[in-house]
């Protein structure tokens, strides 16, 4: 309890929200980060009130709010327990049938090509070669193909600095464990990919949110942190940021890169969506190549099941050091996935698939614009997710809205999952790639709009 209470005390001191609303927010965020798990027992009301230096009534209201959001259950004589997240929606044909997992749409015009290409590639392969251990980090041939792919964004990329990993998440685990020891700090935006929060919590690494504006983290705030508490690394997702959809402009990138260079702070550049826009500012890895670990992959630009990521380290020596860390945690990338990736890059399928996903995303964003007319939201026309602020007049809080929509068969993600400063905005992230087609996506978005606009939905949910 002492660890949780200390964390919550700090959060309460940093937030302007009423304490009774912060309690369910903190439960939800700690569930997202892994600090709390389903069925964990929470302190009794009086014990928590004493630990947080709050009165009993405030904590009781906080627990009541958490129960209303579906986050906890109270059992007479047993105590209060974390309920956890609502169960995932069923899967359809191996893909998420909802709009919470941020996955690319599946262009129907590519189905036959992918099927035929995969059959040909696997048909020509030696099955026992694919069942053996592989060169960790990829064979020289695979790394050469990966390098050519990365040169679309990093013209100076070299094969001896490139590693092939089983997904971006595994690359981030290796990077965080390599760059920061337990108790040390990595700085990042106030909203970030939930995976980096879970990784940091698992490894005992502290996350320090940097104040941000519409262009991204503020340069003066980054420099002040570097002067007073030199961070071990700076994590950044500058293109089609998850969840805000923002692409950081060139000028802000140059400011942040200059500060990182002056204070020698390594940069972890998560460019998961970087291949989607036809035009994007320079990666941080071009502005600060001697400090930046650049990571991109196929799961967000091809398909979620293609768990292949490419990591470009600043130097060959740093790539080899990182290779040891990756090998200890993941052994190697799947040879089947690597064979498909290399072949599809070489024969042009990968480029054509990205173009098809981009076109499908544009079409879905056009439909979203019509359905959400009259509602302010953020989106990139070439991206496949959007960030929807919740109007105060709707009466919904993000977690309540997410739970209600899930009961209607629609999965969206509450802002608390992304918040790194303990003060999540009232918003949800909606992935447009999950629904099977434009018609299903339009129907799902219409339910979201009706829920926000019609008080009847709110009253029904509160009964």
Per-residue pLDDT for 93 more than 70? no
For residues 175-189, average pLDDT: 97
Q: Tens digits of per-residue pLDDT, 371-417?
A: 999 899 999 999 999 999 999 888 898 988 988 888 778 889 999 99
Do 326 and 364 fall into the same domain? no
Q: Which CATH number does the domain housing residue 19 bear?
A: 1.10.10.10
Does 337 fall in a domain? yes
Q: List, for residues 105-159, the tens digit of each pLDDT value.
A: 999 999 999 999 999 999 999 999 899 888 878 889 999 999 999 999 999 999 9
pLDDT band for position 4 (cuts 50, 70, 90): confident
User: Of 327, 347, 367, which residue constitutes the final position of a domain?
Assistant: 347
Is 278 among the domain residues?
yes
Name the region of 264 (left: φ>0; alpha: ψ -120 to 50; beta: rest). left
pLDDT for the residue 94: 39
Whether 337 and 371 map to the same domain: the answer is: no
Can you give the pTM of this predicted structure?
Answer: 0.81
pLDDT > 50? residue 458: no
Secondary structure (DSSP) of 9-74: HHHHHH--S-HHHHHHHHHHHHHHHTSS-TTPEEPPHHHHHHHHT--HHHHHHHHHHHHHTTSEEE
More confident site: 218 or 73: 218
- The pLDDT tens digits for 59-78 are 999 998 888 777 888 766 67
pLDDT at position 97: 42
Cβ 248 vs Cβ 242: under 8 Å: no
My answer on whether 240 and 307 are in the same domain is yes
User: 353 pLDDT exceeds 80?
Assistant: yes
Distances (CA, A) of 172 to 29, 156, 196, 266, 350: 20, 22, 7, 13, 23
CA 384 vs. chain centroid, Å, equals: 13
In this predicted structure, the answer to whether residue 95 has a pLDDT above a threshold of 50 is no
Domain tally for the chain? 3
- Domain holding 144, by residue range, is 134-347
Q: Taking 80 as the threshold, does the pLDDT of residue 87 lie above it?
A: no
Are residues 284 and 146 located together in one domain of the fold? yes
Are 170 and 298 in the same domain? Answer: yes
Tell whether the model's pLDDT for residue 186 goes beyond 90. yes
Q: Indicate which CATH number applies to the domain containing 384.
A: 3.90.1150.10
Mean pLDDT of 72-100: 61
Residue 120 resides in a domain: no
């Amino acid at each position: 309890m002492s660890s949780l209470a200390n964390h919550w005390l700090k959060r309460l001191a940093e937030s302007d929200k009423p304490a009774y609303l912060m309690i369910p927010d903190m439960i939800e965020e700690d569930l997202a980060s892994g600090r709390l798990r389903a069925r964990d027992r929470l302190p009794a009301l009086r014990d928590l009130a004493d630990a947080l230096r709050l009165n009993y009534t405030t904590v009781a209201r906080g627990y009541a709010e958490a129960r209303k959001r579906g986050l906890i259950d109270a059992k007479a004589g047993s105590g209060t327990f974390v309920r956890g997240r609502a169960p995932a929606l069923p899967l359809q044909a191996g893909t998420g049938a909802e709009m919470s997992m941020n996955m690319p749409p599946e262009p129907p015009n590519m189905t036959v090509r992918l099927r035929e290409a995969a059959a040909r590639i696997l048909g020509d392969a030696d099955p026992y070669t694919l069942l053996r251990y592989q060169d960790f980090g990829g064979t020289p041939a695979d790394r050469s193909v990966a390098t050519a792919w990365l040169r679309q964004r990093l013209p100076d990329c070299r094969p001896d600095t490139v590693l092939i990993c089983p997904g971006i998440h595994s690359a981030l685990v290796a990077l965080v464990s390599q760059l920061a020891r337990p108790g040390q700090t990595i700085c990042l935006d106030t909203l970030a990919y939930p995976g980096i929060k879970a990784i940091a919590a698992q490894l005992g690494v502290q996350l320090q949110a940097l104040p941000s504006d519409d262009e991204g983290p503020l340069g003066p705030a980054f420099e002040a942190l570097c002067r007073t508490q030199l961070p071990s690394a700076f994590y950044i997702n500058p293109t089609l940021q998850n969840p805000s959809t923002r692409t950081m402009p060139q000028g802000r990138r140059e400011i942040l890169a200059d500060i990182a260079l002056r204070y020698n702070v390594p940069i972890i550049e998560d460019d998961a969506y970087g291949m989607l826009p036809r035009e994007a500012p320079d990666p941080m890895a071009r502005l600060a190549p001697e400090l930046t670990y650049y990571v991109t992959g196929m799961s967000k630009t091809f398909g979620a099941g293609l768990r292949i990521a490419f990591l470009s380290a600043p130097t060959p020596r740093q790539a080899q050091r990182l290779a040891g860390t990756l090998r200890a945690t993941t052994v190697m990338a799947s040879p089947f996935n690597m064979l498909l990736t290399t072949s599809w890059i070489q024969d042009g399928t990968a480029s054509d698939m990205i173009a098809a996903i981009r076109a499908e995303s544009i079409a879905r964003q056009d439909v979203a614009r019509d359905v959400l007319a009259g509602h302010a939201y953020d989106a990139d026309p070439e991206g496949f997710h959007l960030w929807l602020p919740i109007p105060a007049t709707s009466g919904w809080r993000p977690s309540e809205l997410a739970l209600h929509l899930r009961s209607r068969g629609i999965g969206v993600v509450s802002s608390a999952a992304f918040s790194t400063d303990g003060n999540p905005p009232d918003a949800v992230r909606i992935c447009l790639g999950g629904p099977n087609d434009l018609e299903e996506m339009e129907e799902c978005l219409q339910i979201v709009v009706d829920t926000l606009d019609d008080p009847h939905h709110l009253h029904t949910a509160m009964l």
